Structure 1
Amino acid sequence: MPALATVSDFQAVDRTFAQMLRDRAVYEPDTVAFSTWTAGAPQPTSWSQYFEAVQHAALGLHDLGIKPGDRVAIMSSTRQEWVMAALAILSVNGVLVGVYPTSSPHELEQVLGSSEASAIFAESSSDLAKVAAVGPRLPHLRVCIGFDACSTDVSDALAVTDWRSLLSLGSARAAAEPTLFTGLLDAGDIDHPAALFSTSGSTGTPKGVVHTHRTLQYSVMGVAMTYPEIGRTRHDMVGFLGLSHVAPALLGVFAPIMTRLVVTYCTMEQRGEALVGVRPTVVVWPPRMHEKLAGEMLQAVSRSGRIFGVEYSIAMKVARQVSTLRWQGRQLPTYLDVLYRLCTKSVFLPLRARVGMDRITVSWTASGSMTPDVAALWHMWGLDLRELYGTTETCGAVLAQWDRSFPAPGTIGKSLPDSRWAARVSPDGELQLRAPCLFTGYWNDGDAISVAVHDDWYRTGDLVDMAADGEVRIIGRLKDVLKTSGGKSVSPQPIELRLKTSPLIDEAVVVGEGRKYLTALLAISVHAQKMDADEREASLRRWIDEVNAELARPLQLKDFRVLPRALSAEAGELTLKATIRRANVLASFTDLIDEMYDAGEHDEIARHARFIRPDRA
C-alpha cells in the first residue's frame, strides 16, 4: 500500500483520490474510514463499505451520462452521502462543485451557470425546489439526484432520481460489467481539475477556484505539518461545518484518504452531543466556534456551584501567571508548573470535558481574525490554540504557528517548515504566497489569475506586518484601506476587531472614506438589544471611549450609529461565508452615515456645483 502522509516526505503521490480510496479498501477493508452520528453514537463505515458505495454511485453517474471533465455540484449539509458523492464524482473523472446549502435560487443559478454543471446532488425537497426554479435557464444541467427525496416536479428536461436509486443503478451496472469501474479509476489524472471552490465574493461575484488532485494532496500535507502524527496514528474529528467551504472539505473529504484521520459527520444541531461523544483530537475551526464553546464553558462555570466556582477562581489565578510567562518565552518555575498541572487535571480538564474538548492538545483556528482574549482564555484552560493562514486559492495552510507551544496571540504564524511553502511582503505591505498547494486558475476566467498570481507568487490582498523571524500579523485588507479627506490611510479591520470584543457588539464597520474623521456602524448583540435604550447608548459610548483611548488620534472614532437591523446575505451585505461586503453595507445605510457627518457642508457644495454644470450654463 502507498505510504500515508507523513512529515518526513512531503511529496504528492502519483494517484488520484479515488485511486487512493481503492488502495485503502484493498489493504485495510475493515478499518473504520469514517462514522456518522446517529441515535446518540457514532456509527462506523469501513473502507470497503465506503469504496463499494462510491463504486455504485460512480457507475450510476456514468449510466446517467456524466463524462470525464463534467462538473457535478453538491448542495447539502454535512453528511456521509456528501462525501460518498464527492468521491463518486472524482471516480468518473468529473469535477466536484460545492454549493452552500443556504444558497438562494439566484446564488444557486450563478454557481451552476458559471461552472456549467451537468448534474447536481441536492439534499431536501426545498433544495430540489430551488433546482426546479433555475433549471430551465441552465442548458448544461441534465441530471438531479436527491439525497432525501426525489421530485418529479424538478424539470422535464432533467433526469431526476434519488440516492438509493442511483446506488441500485450502479450496482446493476457493476454486476453486468465488472471491469468498467476499474477502467474509470485507472483513467484518472492527478493533474486534472478535481474541485471548484467558490471565493467569498466579498469584493464582487464569486469565482470558481480550480484545484487539482495534486494541489489538494499538497494541502493535505500542510495538515500533516500541523498535526505531525496524523499519518501514523488515528486522530478523531467531528465534522459539522459545511463541506462546500474549502477548509471543511479539505479536512472532511480529502485528508482522511491520505491520513489516519477519522471524521464523525453530524449536523450542526448534533454538534454538542457529538463533540462530547467523540472527544476529538483534531480541531480546525473558524474563530467563532472557539468563541461559542468558550461561552458555553463559562456558562457551565456559573452553574457549577460555589465550591467549584472557588476552585475555578484559584485555578485561573495560577493560569494567568503561567500564560504570561509562556507568552514571554520564559521558563516556568517548578512550583508553578506543578501547581498548574494540578489545576489542569482537577479543574480545567473536567471543564473542557463538558464540551468534548478534554482529549485535544493542539487546536487550530483559521478563516477569520481570532480575538486575542478568546485565544488567551483557551491557553489558560490548557488548550494550545494556534492560528494558521490559508485562502480558497491555497486550500490548505501556508502560514501557521507551528514552531512553538502556546504562542502569544496576535499573529498568524510563519511559513510552514518546507521551503516550497513561502511568504513575502510586497512594497505596499501585501502578503504574497508561494506553495505547491496553490490553485491552478479561476474557472472560465483566464484574466483573473494573471492579476492574482505573478511569477508564481499569489497576491492575497491582505495587508500585513512581517517580523524579522518571519512571524506575520494581519493589519487588514488592501482593498479595504480607506483614506480620509485629510489624506490619512486607515486599515479599518484592527479597529473593528477590537470593537467586537465587547459582548454588546456582533459586527462593526468603520466608516471614513473621503470624510474628515472616522465613525462606526454597529450591529448589536441580543444581550444589548434587551437593554434599556438609554443604558445601551451609554454603555456603547463608554466602550467607544475605551477603544479610542488605545488608538492614535487620527484613528479615533468620533461617532457611531446602531444599525436598525442585522446585516444579511439577502440584502447583499454579507457573503454566504458571512464575510462583510463593505461597499454594500455603506450603500445600505447612507442616511445613518450622513447623520454622523456635517451633511450640510456637502449639501452646500453640491448646491453650488449644480449652478455651474455645463448643461445649466
Structure 2
Amino acid sequence: MSSSTSASVPRERRRIPARGGKRGRVMELTGFEPERTLPGLLLDRAHREPDTVALRYSCGGTVRAITWRRYLDRVRELAFGLVARGVRHGDRVAVMSGARPEWVFAALAVQSVGGVVIGVYPTNSPAEIEQVLVHSEAVAFVGETETELAKVAKIAGNTPDLRLVAGIDAAPPELPAGITGVSWDDLRSAGEPDSLAELIAATALDDPAVLFYTSGSTGVPKGVTHSHRTLQHAIQSVIGLYPESRTTRHDVVGFLPLAHVAPAVLLVFTPLRTRLVVTFCRIEDYSEVLRAVRPTVVLWPPRFYEKLAAELIALAGSWTGIRRLAYRAAMRIGRRMAERRWSGRRAPVPLRIAYAAAVRGVFVPLRASLGMDRLRVAWTASAAMPESVVALWQIWGLDLRENYGLTETGGCPIGQFGQPFPRPGRIGREFADPRYQVKLADDREMLIRAPLLFSGYWRNPGETEAVFADGWFRTGDLMERTADGNIRLIGRKKDVIITRGGKTVDPQPIEIRLKESSLIEEAIVVGDGRKYLTVLIEPSAAADAGLDGRVRAELERVNADLARAEQLKDFRVLPRPLEASRGERTANGKVKRAAVAGSFAGLIDEMYGVDDDAAIADHVRRPR
C-alpha cells in the first residue's frame, strides 16, 4: 500500500490545554475511579461525537475510517444478534482473529450482553483451542477465516458448552449436532435491535469483562480475569504514560494479536477514553501501513524495535559520499548527547544545537523510510530489551521508554512516566496514584498492590491464592532499586539456574548480552544441576558460513564480564528455528525453556559429555 492511495493524515493537531497545566494533568491522573462499564463508555462517546473518526483499517491499498456512530451501530447489531442466538449475561465468547475492527466490535458486543470475551491466538493449534474453550466453558466462538473455523470444527465435538460458531470472512464448515454455524452478516441481522443502553445497564463494573489466557511459558495456561473496573484502571495507567492522548489525536497502527493483554488494552479499550485512533492491518502488511499512517505512538515488544533498527542500520550502511559522512558525524553527536542525558548533566548549547541539526537532517529522514518520522515517544514492554537497542533509538531521536506490565496487571503499574530519554535498563517507577505500590520481598521478588490487578484466575482459587500475599501480588520477577529510585529487573524467580555447586544464576541478562550480536536470534542458557553453564544458539538470518568461530568469539566477549561460575563453557547451534507448533515457543513468541531442553536434550548432553549426569547414571547401571 502506498501513501498516495491512503487516507491523508493531518500533519498538525489542535492541542487542548489540560486544566492546571502539567501539575493539573498529574492530579487528573490520580484518584481515578470508573463510573461506567466499557460498553457504557462507547455509548457516551458515540452520543457525544458521533461523526468523529473512532478507528480505521487498511483494505485493498487504502485506509478507511469508521466513525463512533458506525462503531456503535455494529456493536448494537451484534449484541442483539448474540442475544437472539442464546448468548446470555455471564456467558463466555471466544474470538479468534487477527487485529481488525470486527474483533473490536465483537468484544464490545459480548460485553454489552454482559458476557466475557476470550481472545484466542490465530496461531493456536486445535488442541490449544479445545483447552481454552473447555476450560472457559465458552458458549460461542467467532473465527476469522476458513483456517480458524476449520480448527474449531475439528474439536467442537469435545467442547460440551459450545452452541454457536460465527465466521467473519467465511461460513463455518459442518459442525456437530447442537452447534449452530452462522455467517457474520447473519449474526448481525439475527436480532431485533432494542435499547442498547438498557442491555448495557444490566452489567456491573466488577463483572468479568475479558479472560486473557497466559502464554504457558511456565506451565498450563491460566485464564486471567479482568473486570470492567480493572481494565479501566489499566487504561488509566496507559494514559499516565502519555497524558496528551486525552486531549490530542494520536495515531497508532494495530497489527499485534488482540488475544494478548497489551495490544487489547491499548488498541481496543484505551481509545474509548482517549483520542487514540488505531489503524488496523494484517501483520504481514504492517511495514507498508506504517509508512502510510506515519504513527505518532507505538507500543511494541522488543523484537520489532530490533528488527526495524537492523533495517535502518542496513539502509544507513548503503549510503555513500556526503550522506555516509553526515551519518557518521550525526552518530558521534548523538552518542555524546545520550551520555549527557543518562548522566543527568545538561548538554552545552553547542551540543544541543548540533544534535537538533543531526536529528532533523539525518535521523528523522532515516526513520521516515519506515514511516517513523512523526514519532516523538515510544514504549516497549512484555520482554527484556537489550540496552543497546534502547540506546540506538534514543540516539536517533526517538524517546523510547521501557515499561512493566503482566497479563495479571493489564496495564502498566510501573513505567517511565514523564521522564524523557531515560537511561536504558530500568523500567521506571510506580504510577503516580498512591494506590500503586511496589515493595521488595525478602528473596528480592517484586510485589505489587494496585487497582488494576486482575480479579483472579478463572475458576482456579488455588492458583489465585498462591500469587497473593496479604493483598500483595507476587509478580515472579526479581528487582532492585537504583540510587535514583528507579526499578531495575534482575531476572525471573522461576528462570534461575542452580548449578551443582550451589551457584544461583539468572540466565536472562546473559542471554540479552548474547542477543546483542547480529549473529544470534535466540540464546537459551542451560546448566541447572550441572557443573557449569552452556548455551543453545538459534542463529539469525544475518549469520552465514563460518558461524561457529564467530559465535565462539561472542561467547568470549560476554564471558569477559561474567563471574567464573556464570561463564559459558560451551555452545551448540540449533539445527532449526524454535517453533510454537512444537511447543518450544508460546503463541506470543516467548521461549518455553523446558520444552526446548526436551527437544534438544542430545545437543545439551554433548556439551557435558560423560563427566556429568549421564556418567553417573551409567555407573549406576553398570556396577564396577
TM-score of the two chains, using structure 2 as the length reference: 0.94
Match status 1:419 vs 2:430: no
* Change beyond 3 A, Cα 1:601–1:280: closer
Alignment partners' CA distance in 2, 1:308 and 1:423: 48
Aligned length: 601
Q: CA offsets per residue over residues 309-346 of structure 1, 9 Å max, x none?
A: 22111111111111111111111100110111111111
Alignment partners' CA distance in 2, 1:467 and 1:316: 28
Residue in structure 1 matched with residue 597 of structure 2 by the alignment: 586
Match status 1:497 vs 2:497: no
Which residue identity does 1:513 align to in structure 2? D
Which residue identity does 1:564 align to in structure 2? P
Residue in structure 2 matched with residue 437 of structure 1 by the alignment: 452
Residue in structure 2 matched with residue 334 of structure 1 by the alignment: 349
Q: Map residues 438-453 of structure 1 onto 2, 5 A cutoff.
A: 438-453=453-468
Residue in structure 2 matched with residue 26 of structure 1 by the alignment: 47
Alignment partners' CA distance in 2, 1:396 and 1:607: 51
Q: Map residues 79-478 of structure 1 onto 2, 5 A cutoff.
A: 79-170=100-191, 173-174=192-193, 178-179=194-195, 181-478=196-493
Q: Report the Cα offset of residue 119 of structure 1.
A: 0.2
Match status 1:15 vs 2:36: yes
Match status 1:538 vs 2:549: yes
CA contact (8 A) 1:6 1:221 kept: no
* Change beyond 3 A, Cα 1:252–1:604: closer
CA contact (8 A) 1:425 1:466 kept: no
Match status 1:609 vs 2:620: yes
Instruction: Please state whether the residue corresponding to 1:519 is helix, strand or coil.
Output: strand
Range that drifts further, 351-360 or 242-251? 351-360
Residue in structure 2 matched with residue 522 of structure 1 by the alignment: 537
Alignment partners' CA distance in 1, 2:268 and 2:91: 20
Range that drifts further, 54-63 or 462-471? 462-471
Match status 1:78 vs 2:89: no
* Change beyond 3 A, Cα 1:29–1:548: same
Alignment partners' CA distance in 2, 1:51 and 1:553: 62
Instruction: Please state whether the residue corresponding to 1:270 is helix, strand or coil.
Output: helix
Alignment partners' CA distance in 2, 1:607 and 1:278: 63
Q: Report the Cα offset of residue 299 of structure 1.
A: 2.6
CA contact (8 A) 1:58 1:88 kept: yes
Residue in structure 2 matched with residue 481 of structure 1 by the alignment: 496
* Change beyond 3 A, Cα 1:610–1:272: closer
Alignment partners' CA distance in 2, 1:553 and 1:334: 45
Instruction: Please state whether the residue corresponding to 1:470 is helix, strand or coil.
Output: coil
Which residue identity does 1:138 align to in structure 2? T
* Change beyond 3 A, Cα 1:443–1:340: same
Alignment partners' CA distance in 2, 1:603 and 1:436: 50
Alignment partners' CA distance in 2, 1:353 and 1:166: 42
Residue in structure 1 matched with residue 61 of structure 2 by the alignment: 40
Range that drifts further, 238-247 or 603-612? 603-612
Instruction: Please state whether the residue corresponding to 1:596 is helix, strand or coil.
Output: helix
Question: 607, 611, 619: which one pairs with 1:596?
Answer: 607
Range that drifts further, 272-281 or 550-559? 272-281
Alignment partners' CA distance in 2, 1:310 and 1:207: 54
* Change beyond 3 A, Cα 1:149–1:603: closer
Residue in structure 2 matched with residue 615 of structure 1 by the alignment: none
Q: Report the Cα offset of residue 141 of structure 1.
A: 0.3
Range that drifts further, 296-305 or 457-466? 296-305
Instruction: Please state whether the residue corresponding to 1:24 is helix, strand or coil.
Output: helix
Range that drifts further, 506-515 or 91-100? 506-515
* Change beyond 3 A, Cα 1:306–1:38: farther
Alignment partners' CA distance in 1, 2:261 and 2:477: 18
Q: CA offsets per residue over residues 373-418 of structure 1, 9 Å max, x none?
A: 1111111110010000000000100111124211111111111112
Which residue identity does 1:426 align to in structure 2? A
* Change beyond 3 A, Cα 1:487–1:152: closer
Alignment partners' CA distance in 2, 1:224 and 1:317: 35
Q: Report the Cα offset of residue 527 of structure 1.
A: 2.4
